[in-house]
């Protein structure tokens, strides 16, 4: 069977994190040329580049202050010049902080929204213009079960992640005329990433009600992402797909 993403060029935000790393690895395994952004973990980004290059993949890492319009526009131009036109955009980067609602300050709220909501907007706006010109492309947004279920989670984080669903649906409708697909993957509790900060009580509750009975692995999310951005999923559009073990 041929590789799912052979000849495709993908850009992944937050590639140095656990889920982002898994996504980059699976995309590369399936034949894609991979560009990814990272915020401050240069060591992890460089290690991922080395790892993928050793396996024969074409990959390049770029620092990015997510939420900065000027940096995002500059990066989109740089990637197109140095790597090529993007076929696949994956809005993966996101942050959280564990705070009860009464202690959330305006600055806390703005910080989460700046990265988790404004960030995907700016990145998508920058890269989608080339997709529109070429009349092809695929966008995949990462949500969270925290924004879709009645759970004891930080309110500002849940709000930011639920916004990804509306962003996905409205964007998919508008971009359909340009042959651009837009979908959203909603992971459940994972073994790594932002889930590291989940208290034991909430972790046990998730496993109790999850039909598979355990947290997921980042690679299990990455496998779904790779399929959805491939041509094998050409009839899947404007969907919110859960990778949560049946929670």
- Residue positions counted in the chain: 247
Among 157, 209, 235, 242, the active-site one is 157
The helix/strand/coil state of 216 is strand
The helix/strand/coil state of 10 is strand
Distance of CA 9 to the CA centre of its chain: 15
Q: Please, which residues have CB within 8 angstroms of residue 14's CB and are 6 or more apart in sequence?
A: 20, 36, 37, 38, 39, 66, 92, 93, 94
The Cα 207–Cα 184 span in angstroms is 23
Is 157 part of the annotated catalytic residue set?
yes
Two tokens, residue 17: 């994190």
Give the active site residues: 157
């Amino acid at each position: 069977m041929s590789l799912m993403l052979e000849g495709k060029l993908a850009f992944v935000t937050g590639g140095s994190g656990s889920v982002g790393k898994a996504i980059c690895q699976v995309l590369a395994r399936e034949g894609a040329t991979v560009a990814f952004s990272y915020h401050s973990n240069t060591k992890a980004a460089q290690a991922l580049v080395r790892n993928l290059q050793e396996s024969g993949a074409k990959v390049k890492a770029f620092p990015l202050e997510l939420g900065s319009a000027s940096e995002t526009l500059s990066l989109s131009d740089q990637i197109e010049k140095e790597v090529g036109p993007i076929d696949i955009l994956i809005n993966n980067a996101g942050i959280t902080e564990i705070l009860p609602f009464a202690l959330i300050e305006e600055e806390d709220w703005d910080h989460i929204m700046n990265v988790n909501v404004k960030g995907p907007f700016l990145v998508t706006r920058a890269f989608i213009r080339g997709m529109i010109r070429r009349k092809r492309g695929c966008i995949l947004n990462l949500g969270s079960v925290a924004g879709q279920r009645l759970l004891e989670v930080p309110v500002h984080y849940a709000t930011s992640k639920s916004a990804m669903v509306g962003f996905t649906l409205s964007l998919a409708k508008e971009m359909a005329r340009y042959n651009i697909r837009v979908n959203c993957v909603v992971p459940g509790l994972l073994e790594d990433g932002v889930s590291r900060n989940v208290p034991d009580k909430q972790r046990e509750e998730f496993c109790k009600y999850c039909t598979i009975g355990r947290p997921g692995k980042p690679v299990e999310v990455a496998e779904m992402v790779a399929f959805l951005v491939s041509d094998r999923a050409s009839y899947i559009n404007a969907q919110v797909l859960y990778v949560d073990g049946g929670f």
